[in-house]
Amino acid sequence: MSNNVIIINGPNINLLGEREQSQYGSITFEELKKNCLKKSKDLNINLDFIQSNIEGEIVTIIQKASKTHDGIIINAAGFTHTSVAIRDALSIYKKPKIELHISNIYKREEFRHKSLISDVVDGGIFGLGDNGYILAIISMQKLLQNEN
């Protein structure tokens, strides 16, 4: 079984621990990355954990992942609600994909209720805080096992 997974984080996720702790908790980006890398190692998954504030860069990462990664976990953050380009790139990627949000986007402002990417991913995790990342890694492992 191939086990190369990438977690792609969108804009402002690098500011975890500094921003809106009522929505995102107190964990820092580096702590989150460390927790994800530890869990993926426990599950024998090779994990890349990246973040970008640039929409086109995220599109390029998704495009390149089709040749290098067996699954994508994406927290597109604010681009979730605005980026047709990220949606299209995810649609082209034909391997397992999970949408992830730290906060529950459906309990927030009305404009956040619409995800442009939900219909092109295999599943989503919303509102479970940083623990959602761990659940996404576990879920991705199951998706990859089912592929083989």
Q: Tell me which long-range contacts 13-16 makes (C-beta under 8 A, separation of at least 24).
A: 13/51, 13/75, 13/77, 14/51, 14/53, 16/102, 16/130
pLDDT at 148: 62
- The string of pLDDT tens digits covering residues 46-69 is 999 999 999 999 999 999 999 999
Q: Domain 4-147 - what CATH class?
A: alpha beta
Residue of 69, 93, 101, 133 with catalytic role: 101
pLDDT at 105: 77
How many helices, marked H, and strands, marked E, lie in the chain?
Answer: 5, 5
The answer to whether residue 101 is catalytic is yes
pLDDT at 110: 78
Residue of 24, 69, 93, 133 with catalytic role: 24
The answer to whether residue 24 is catalytic is yes
**Whether residue 1 has pLDDT greater than 60:** no
Mean pLDDT of 130-145: 96
- The string of pLDDT tens digits covering residues 83-137 is 999 999 999 999 999 999 998 876 666 766 678 999 999 999 998 999 999 999 9
Q: In whole angstroms, give the CA distance from residue 99 to residue 125.
A: 6
- In the chain, where the domains are located: 4-147
**Whether residue 2 has pLDDT greater than 70:** no
